[in-house]
Chain A
């Protein structure tokens, strides 16, 4: 008897959610787990969304008990989110964005980012582990007679734009939470699975050649993916054909923009607000935004900002947000009408770069979208200047606002029509907050043989940088070539051909390699070399490290090895060094992804 559940986990930048289903049950549909969490001091509630925030209270603030752990010293969820604006140096936020930030050591304790001297810190991997661990505990509390979450088939979603290193680190966090049979799934694919699961007649709505553009604008990040419908022997197949960059731009930016607008109006009226009052303003503007961008909006929505003290009457400031202001700030500010040739602005980075998140420098989602469609024009093989989607699936909390969806569709349609194409059709997404978790559970059902699977493989080709032998010239770096070790579109459980290139590695001393990815070079096979200047167009990832253990060899011995790449069943890239003259049958060593950036401080 198979008692395993299939479980979808959306480990989001701002929210985490879990949905589960039982593959053996006839007509099973995923259900969302209600997650117990502290919502106020000493107050517990169950909610479908667990805010991805980790509060590390000061010792004198005492234990923060959960039903299953009265001595708990950290808090995950709604209370942690509330504390983030009150005591930011004690709360980890956006751990997921830090997890994909190649400029820092992601296993080193660096968060909360602005923590005062001497305050406990955790690594981005540990914060992710804490969120998953909370789900493990919530699962055990909800289903005490069932096997623990770690023994279920867990599909953990990651942004399609996550590189090999961020995926590896995500799996590390999952293993730490004892999720032993975890596999990764791209979020936009999960969103499409949710639509497929909720739309039994989808075969009547999509035809071969159609391209679904998944536009995911979440709380902290924006992601684009394109999925093409293909005909294979009379059966429809879905292929994920293009993935965009990881853009740190989302609904939180929009709320902050509106709060800033309201703050300036109050300041102009002579009411200066402090940081905490501005944080309180964010709630008000969020409610105003929902009304003004929703159906049949009023002309203006009043906003009241309470004083922080117990005196409320006589100390509350009033302003208002008008329809024009919100449209101007959000619709035109974040989704401006542009040409398809528009590109995101890149400001020159200042010389002294603080270690912080690489936030998008251009707030215009439409310009990021134009860049994506132009760069991926070749993804579907059609000879046009843009990738032409036929359908759009919106996902993420931001696009719940009808005015923003309408603007995105009208801008996209204008580009497609000007490029000789046709307007898109919008696929409905009933619950964008929970679609990814639900869709991941649907995927689990599909994997168990209950539905259609999206094919695609890796969204990048991967390269290892190799210094070519050259005479040393002062001030000139030795030229690097990039060796393709894993081609674009590798499927889970497959192995790339061994590139015909030998490296000599010294036993016992670590060797570092530069590591690159490309979401554009679809044709490179394992073993191909990319040289200057094409190498500059590759995206540099965190370096790799290999240490050959002595194990019967002499310290200092030079061993010729080849590099072998495979995509594991989990969905992570595995790079191994294979000795050309193995000492024992099947000898190989794993190469570490995501090692500490040389010279970067953690």
Chain B
């Protein structure tokens, strides 16, 4: 007997990977590293269920709904707009960024920022897990091995010949888990927040 295979979950995989690529501007489907042990249990169960973290290369490509065959740019845009819709819905991010805040007091901006911070943080944590790329404290001096991952560490200052020794200015972030909403057909991804009409 074959083990149950969540095939349509695999399709979900593509949607978010396409989106991640759009965000990262990365041309190839890069593999996500395994989910860390510290991921919340229910979420981990979810990640295990779609086997995403463990076997990224097995995820079969499938067309993203509403995107014409081959039109990856449109699929990327739909995925990115979907994330913006999520952050607006949960944390009012678009409202906040679209408003001119120059004439408001820091207190007013601060109060609104709480709404945005709390909601966007909740949404982000439910969908993406981040881990620092370097475990060291910022400010630590360190020397990179010759075969370091150049995509994960940016060299600044007097960049000479390896081995590179310098001060860690930013620890970096790596998404170790990303489960983003998948756009389904029949919805206009450009509607990031619908207008609301209250009926009496």
Contact = CB atoms under 8 A, between A and B. Distances in A.
A318 B96 contact: no
A45 B115 contact: no
A141 B86 contact: no
Interface string B116-143: 1011001000000000000000000000
A313 interface: yes
Interface in B68-92: 82, 85-86, 89, 92
A41 B194 contact: yes
A172 to B, nearest CB: 29
A46 B46 contact: yes
Interface residues of B, number: 53
Interface string B28-46: 0000000000000110011
B184 A42 contact: yes
Contacts of B9: 34, 36, 46, 142
> For A40, A62, A311, which residue has the most chain B Cβ atoms within 10 angstroms?
A40
A144 B9 CA distance: 11
A593 interface: no
A468 interface: no
A259 interface: no
B186 A316 contact: no
Interface stretch (B97-105, B144-152, B156-164): B97-105
Interface string A291-320: 000000000001011101011111011100
Given A46-B179, A312-B96, A306 B46 contact: no
Contacts of B46: 32, 34, 46-48
A146 interface: yes
The A contact surface, by secondary structure, is loop
A42 B189 contact: yes
Q: Which of A38, A43, A143, A284 has the most CB of B within 10 A?
A: A43
A65 interface: yes
Interface in B1-48: 1-2, 4-9, 11-12, 41-42, 45-46, 48
Nearest to A280: B115
B4 to A, nearest CB: 4
B115 to A, nearest CB: 5
Contacts of A226: none
A310 B41 CA distance: 36
A64 B184 CA distance: 9
A39 interface: yes
B74 to A, nearest CB: 15
Q: Tell me whether chain B's interface is mostly helix, strand or loop, or mixed.
A: helix
A534 to B, nearest CB: 48
B41 A431 contact: yes
Residue of B12, B50, B184 contacting most chain A CB atoms (<10 Å): B184
Nearest to A313: B112
B118 A65 contact: no
A68 to B, nearest CB: 8
B147 to A, nearest CB: 37
A70 interface: yes
A312 B100 CA distance: 10
B114 A314 contact: no
Nearest to A431: B41
Given A32-B45, A313-B108, A62 B118 contact: no
A70 B8 contact: no
A42 B187 contact: yes
A146 B4 contact: yes
A284 B85 contact: no
Contacts of A304: 111-112, 114-115, 118
A313 B109 contact: yes
A433 interface: yes
Contact of A287 (B42, B45, B50, B122): B122
A434 interface: yes
Given A304-B111, A431-B41, A43 B86 contact: yes
B171 interface: no
A178 B68 CA distance: 37
Contacts of A32: 42, 45-46, 49
B5 A145 contact: yes
A4 B101 CA distance: 61
Which 9 A-B residue pairs are closest in the complex by CB-CB distance? A42-B187, A43-B181, A143-B4, A304-B114, A313-B112, A34-B49, A312-B95, A318-B111, A316-B112
Interface of B: 1-2, 4-9, 11-12, 41-42, 45-46, 48-50, 82, 85-86, 89, 92, 95-96, 98-99, 101, 104, 108-109, 111-112, 114-116, 118-119, 122, 179-189, 191, 194, 196, 198
